[in-house]
Amino acid sequence: MSDLKRMLITQHQMQRDSFGADPTLMSTDEAIEFIHWNVTALTDELHEMLGEIGWKPWASSRHIHGPQAAKEMIDAWHFFMNIMLALGPFISQDMMPGQKFPANVAELAEWWEMAYNAKKRVNEERQAQGYDGVSTKCSTCKREISEIDMNNLTCSFGPEDCPYKKETPNG
């Protein structure tokens, strides 16, 4: 069993046992609220971690309180895993063609590992090709052009404004 799988299963169990909530069984509205407050908590933990290092260019202290910073990162990791769990039921099969929808937390962990490795390969290719972060993005929604689904346009400004939309016979 992978470390990620073990951690997600443990985090899932803690959410159910300690809080009586299962992030993998939430309605859309419940998941939105759960994800929102976990993102807020995650951000707060990251800011607390910054308080443990002397990062301020206007201050003379150059320090890293390693153990304290690590504890804040562990807290952040808990909230990050909560988000991963809550997103599980909403992961579309379209994101990873040929892969079945994660049916349980163990499969969800496998999906996250597979998705991470796929994205890592994309990032490595981008860096090898001199990725600038601009020229390969849609000028309207700013999404990566290679990731725009032509059958289900994802422009945040609406399909009618997407410069990559398919032309229909009538329009």
Least confident of 26-30, 108-112, 166-170: 166-170
* Per-residue confidence (pLDDT) for residue 12, from 0 to 100: 97
Residue 51 above 70 pLDDT?
A: yes
> Is 69 a residue whose pLDDT tops 60?
yes
Report residue 70's pLDDT band, with 50, 70 and 90 as the boundaries. Answer: very high
Question: Quick one: pLDDT at residue 147?
Answer: 72
Q: CB neighbours of 16 closer than 8 A, spacing ≥ 6?
A: 22
The answer for residues whose C-beta is within 8 angstroms of residue 148's C-beta and 6 or more apart is 138, 154, 155, 162, 164
pLDDT of residue 170 exceeding 50, the answer is no
- Predicted TM-score (pTM) of the model is 0.80
Given a cut of 50, whether residue 151 has pLDDT beyond it is yes
Confidence of residue 146 (pLDDT cuts 50, 70, 90): confident
Instruction: Please state, in angstroms and rounded to a whole number, the distance separating the CA atoms of residues 34 and 28.
Output: 10
Distance CA 123, CA 131 (A): 9
Structure tokens at 8: 């997600």
157 has a pLDDT exceeding 90: no
Grade residue 165 by pLDDT with cuts at 50, 70 and 90.
low
pLDDT of residue 169: 44
Whole-angstrom Cα Rg for the chain: 20
pLDDT band of 167, cuts 50, 70, 90:
very low
